With several copies, the nearest count.
Chain A
Amino acid sequence: MDTMPSPATGSGAGQLPGPLSRQLSGAPAEPLTDDQLRELYSLMVAVRHLDTSAIAWQRQGLIPGYAPELGQEAAQVGSGYAVDTTRDFVFPTYREMGVARAMGVDMVAYMSTHKATWHGGLYNPLESRLAPIQAVVGGSVLHAVGWAHGQTLSGIAGTNTDGTAGVAMTYFGDGASSQGDVHEAMNFAAVMRAPVVFFVQNNGWAISVPTERQVAGGSVAARAAGYGMPALQIDGNDVVAVVEATRRAFAHARAGNGPVLIEAMTYRRGPHSTSDDPGRYRSLNDERDDAGEDPVERFRKRLLADGVADESFFAEALAAAKTEEEHIRAGIQALGPRPGMEMFDLVFQETTPALQAQAASWREESEHV
């Protein structure tokens, strides 16, 4: 287990027992500037505010469902912040709103998936550098490996030694780590030395199943050694630790050293989704005991203690978050359903006569215009 060199390393870092078979290469990145620290805080507050608002939207009937990321703001904002959107590519699950926000994705287009406007969301993945929202647990982990190997192949030809080759980062959970695809992805990536960062948010739960009945051995990071791949198990509630670990992992992968796994230890403070009832499988006491300190509040205290930000800055950040949320809510409210013809038009690049015939009969029988 590699320990984090950053002074910002939280209590969760360096826990994993046993030596790594291969160490992460490269020096620690530059420390974050005060401006960056404040930016991170603003992002976390924006994400927290949008996240809690989205639950309210669902209660109010504006959206049919939502998967909150309450408690995972540090893990998501910190890792998303480390992405270089000019060259890297990110593969999310269904819970990475904070990553999308940190990457600068259009949030109306992102949140539209929760309005059930379009599976995958309305944002352009190529421009956003964020693959469509993925509902299959573990479904996109292999895509990251393929995309990353594509970078290697482009590099092989000799034109990408200029460092423009990107790194793929794939997100998945403690539950997803049980899927066969995740193993295949790690093995492929390590065999091919593909530039991939496997970013695991171990939030303690897969719906109702706690990590100890999910992850044999107790740690996803501990799996990496078996593939000869370096891993970092970090305090996922310490946003600075997350940024620094992610940057190191990116640097390692970008330099051609192959994949890295980061296990960010965090806690799903909310329900699995708006249709879940956590009271059936964990008590409020459990939640209080296991969740640890709120990552947003913790970062706020630290900025205050370090003199990086003051109350007026925090108030501004919150006000900005509110304005942003209102804007996004308005966008979501204004979103109408997609035209039915998109069902047919977006199946293929080259449509087929059978599909055209079905579209024609749909128009005739069902189009309510």
Chain B
Amino acid sequence: MSNAILESGAAMADRAPRHGVEELSMQQALNLALDEVLAENPKTLVFGEDCGRLGGVFRITDGLQAKYGTGRVFDTPLAESGILGMSAGLAMAGFHPIPEVQFDGFAYPAINQIVCQIARMNYRSRGTMPMPVTLRVPSFGGIRAPEHHGESLEALFAHVPGLKVVSPSNPHEAYHLLKYAATRPDPVIFMEPKSRYWQKGEVTFDSADPAGSAAGGPPTGAKVMREGRHVTLIAWGAMVARCLQVAGLAAEDGIDVEVLDLRWLKPIDAAALAASVRKTRRAVVVHEAPLTSGLGAEVAQLITQSCFDTLKAPVERITGFDVPYPSGDLEDEYIPNIDRILFGIQRVLEYRRG
């Protein structure tokens, strides 16, 4: 690759590394992360439908085209397979593409390129053609949107060899996980919980921040968001906030709930699951995707494998139903709500062998 782009990129790094804490929405945190990644690595490119001038329908790429030019940040024609197929080719030419598909449901037209090409090119080429593609997918439901705008594809992606999958639950995670994902040499599906885009939260910028991960290193693995002794709630994306809410309510009844943000949906942090459930001896996994063959089954089975002797009850799954994602008010019936999660906790707490 030409190093002219490298220089133009360097010229853009107009801000000093951030320190301290800022209150940002997830939209702002993601935008900032992209801004910094574009400034730091001239090989990065941000593109997709309406990502340029408009700044994305969720404004995640807002202002980036003005700052980095139409070469680095651009609109594509309306074709998701095209976007991902082009990403593969750009990666083969040495770029680090950060494409967006506009909504979860519109990742389906690109599945062939994702599964058969992007996930396999490193393998097929015997490591000579890595695929550092960071695919941003505004994901999950909860915003009363039209059909196909509330899907949860994590189980599909997590099943595909060659992909890594991650989902942030708050602005801090969004910033750090996106910066991390966009510097990896492997393809990462980055699932953004669109119902949380406008929620504000503290982002800690110190790169030595131990909140980035349990061990203070890079933001790999799961993260305990609230410690507890009686039961572990495992969630990701928008469901983490809901589980924290549930934990607060349960605490009023004297039930001490641990909340684990899984963060990485592939690879799954099996050690963190084991550590938590060995302590609490009960687990409830929560997700928006339909129950059957959802990622909750994998999480539950990983827990059962590692904690078979200590588990006091079978792992509960509180999930979306095996129905197409519904419209309007029915969303509230479909997405795991506080009541359903509390019922799940109750079941694992009251379970008696016999």
* Touch test A–B (CB under 8 Å): yes
Q: Is A20 an interface residue (CB 8 A)?
A: no
Query: Contacts A119-B147, A136-B116 given: A143-B88 contact, CB under 8 Å?
Result: yes
Contacts of A366 in B (CB 8 A): 333, 337, 339-340
Contacts of A117 in B (CB 8 A): 327-328
Q: Is A137 an interface residue (CB 8 A)?
A: yes
Is there contact, CB below 8 Å, between A120 and B124? yes
Q: How many A-B residue pairs have CB under 8 A?
A: 271
Contact string against B for A residues 230-262, beta-carbon threshold 8 Å, 1 for contact and 0 otherwise: 000000000000000000000000000000000
A225 to chain B, nearest CB (A): 18
Interchain CB contact (< 8 A) of B326 among A119, A137, A184: A119
Is there contact, CB below 8 Å, between B88 and A142? yes
Q: Is B16 an interface residue (CB 8 A)?
A: no
Q: Is A209 an interface residue (CB 8 A)?
A: yes
CA distance A94 to B54 in the complex (A): 21
Is there contact, CB below 8 Å, between A180 and B79? yes
Q: Is B146 an interface residue (CB 8 A)?
A: yes
Is there contact, CB below 8 Å, between B340 and A365? yes
Among B79, B291, B321, the most chain A Cβ lie within 10 Å of the Cβ of B79
Interchain CB contact (< 8 A) of A159 among B2, B89, B128: B2
Is there contact, CB below 8 Å, between A150 and B90? yes
Is there contact, CB below 8 Å, between B329 and A116? yes
Q: Is B140 an interface residue (CB 8 A)?
A: no
Contacts of A338 in B (CB 8 A): 327, 330
Q: Is B186 an interface residue (CB 8 A)?
A: yes
Contact string against B for A residues 153-186, beta-carbon threshold 8 Å, 1 for contact and 0 otherwise: 1111111100000001000000110111100110
Nearest residue, chain A, Cβ from B337: A366
Query: Contacts A208-B54, A340-B330 given: A151-B105 contact, CB under 8 Å?
Result: no
B51 to chain A, nearest CB (A): 9
How many positions in chain B have a CB within 8 Å of any CB in the partner chain?
Answer: 88
Contacts of B82 in A (CB 8 A): 142, 145, 178, 180-181, 184-185, 187-188
Is there contact, CB below 8 Å, between B322 and A347? yes
Interchain CB contact (< 8 A) of B117 among A139, A150, A159: A139
Is there contact, CB below 8 Å, between B92 and A136? no
Contact string against A for B residues 319-345, beta-carbon threshold 8 Å, 1 for contact and 0 otherwise: 001111011111001100101100100
Nearest residue, chain A, Cβ from B221: A353
Interchain CB contact (< 8 A) of B327 among A116, A140, A181: A116
Surface stretch bound by A, among B70-78, B197-205, B226-234, B244-252: B70-78
Interchain CB contact (< 8 A) of B89 among A119, A143, A191: A143
Interchain CB contact (< 8 A) of A142 among B5, B81, B322: B81
A89 to chain B, nearest CB (A): 8
Among B86, B88, B184, B343, the most chain A Cβ lie within 10 Å of the Cβ of B86
Is there contact, CB below 8 Å, between B78 and A178? yes
Q: Is B85 an interface residue (CB 8 A)?
A: yes
CA distance A136 to B80 in the complex (A): 12
Interface size class of A (residues with CB under 8 A): 35 or more
Interchain CB contact (< 8 A) of B85 among A94, A185, A208: A185
Nearest residue, chain A, Cβ from B326: A343
Q: Is A280 an interface residue (CB 8 A)?
A: yes
Contacts of A362 in B (CB 8 A): 321, 333
Contacts of B270 in A (CB 8 A): 353-354
Is there contact, CB below 8 Å, between B322 and A145? no
B100 to chain A, nearest CB (A): 13
Q: Is B258 an interface residue (CB 8 A)?
A: no
Contacts of B149 in A (CB 8 A): 135
A196-220 residues at the B interface, CB under 8 angstroms = 206-209, 213-215
Q: Is A314 an interface residue (CB 8 A)?
A: no
Q: Is A313 an interface residue (CB 8 A)?
A: no
CA distance A137 to B266 in the complex (A): 29
Is there contact, CB below 8 Å, between A156 and B71? yes
Is there contact, CB below 8 Å, between A350 and B186? yes
Nearest residue, chain A, Cβ from B93: A150
Interchain CB contact (< 8 A) of A179 among B71, B79, B117, B125: B79
Interchain CB contact (< 8 A) of A143 among B72, B85, B329: B85
Q: Is A124 an interface residue (CB 8 A)?
A: yes
Is there contact, CB below 8 Å, between A139 and B45? no
B301 to chain A, nearest CB (A): 13
Q: Is A320 an interface residue (CB 8 A)?
A: no
A349 to chain B, nearest CB (A): 4
Surface stretch bound by B, among A1-9, A28-36, A125-133, A324-332: A125-133
Q: Is B279 an interface residue (CB 8 A)?
A: no
Interchain CB contact (< 8 A) of B77 among A120, A139, A188: A188
Is there contact, CB below 8 Å, between B92 and A94? no
B44-66 residues at the A interface, CB under 8 angstroms = 45, 49-50, 52-55, 57
A46 to chain B, nearest CB (A): 24
Q: Is A64 an interface residue (CB 8 A)?
A: yes
B110 to chain A, nearest CB (A): 10
Is there contact, CB below 8 Å, between A206 and B78? yes
Q: Is B354 an interface residue (CB 8 A)?
A: no
Is there contact, CB below 8 Å, between B291 and A358? yes
Interchain CB contact (< 8 A) of A94 among B84, B112, B125, B146: B146
Contacts of A208 in B (CB 8 A): 50, 52-54, 75
Interchain CB contact (< 8 A) of A136 among B57, B117, B324: B117
Interchain CB contact (< 8 A) of A132 among B49, B112, B124, B130: B124
Contacts of A48 in B (CB 8 A): none
Interchain CB contact (< 8 A) of B79 among A184, A340, A344: A184
Can you report 28 A-B residue pairs in the complex whose CB atoms are below 8 A from each other? A118-B328, A125-B125, A132-B121, A135-B149, A136-B117, A140-B117, A142-B81, A142-B89, A146-B90, A149-B86, A150-B93, A153-B45, A153-B95, A154-B1, A155-B2, A156-B5, A158-B4, A175-B77, A178-B78, A181-B85, A185-B82, A208-B75, A209-B78, A214-B77, A215-B77, A343-B333, A353-B267, A355-B267
Known: A156-B71, A353-B271. 5 other contacts (CB 8 A): A146-B97, A150-B1, A176-B78, A187-B79, A207-B54
